[in-house]
Amino acid sequence: MSKIEDEVCEEILARAEKGLNKYGVSMERDDLDTEEWLQHLLEELLDAAVYVKRLQKEYAEMIENLDKVLAITEEIKEKMDE
């Protein structure tokens, strides 16, 4: 495996341990039916969509700010060349 895959595996193990400590159950629990598992999945995916949207907006702002900095830098260079 790659280092990235190794890191993902480590995170999965850490998350499983955290879940077991927090909720007292593992993913092998049998108290949820398929519909309940699907609901959990949906909620996790909706959270993920919110995180992606937030990061998209943050990234767009960073690019906009970078463009402004580059424009100002170019203006400064032009004035220095005069």
Which residue bears the tokens 């060349």?
81
Q: Say what the pLDDT of residue 17 is.
A: 96
Residues 51/59, Cβ–Cβ less than 8 Å: no
Q: Say what the pLDDT of residue 10 is.
A: 97
Residues spanned by the domain of 59: 32-82
Do 15 and 48 lie in one domain? The reply is: no
Q: Say what the pLDDT of residue 54 is.
A: 98
Do 17 and 38 lie in one domain? The reply is: no
Q: Say what the pLDDT of residue 82 is.
A: 83
Number of domains forming the structure of the chain: 2
- The conformational region for residue 24 under phi > 0 = left, psi -120 to 50 = alpha, else beta, is left
Do 23 and 4 lie in one domain? The reply is: yes
Do 37 and 47 lie in one domain? The reply is: yes
Q: Say what the pLDDT of residue 39 is.
A: 98
Q: Which residues of the chain have pLDDT under 50?
A: none
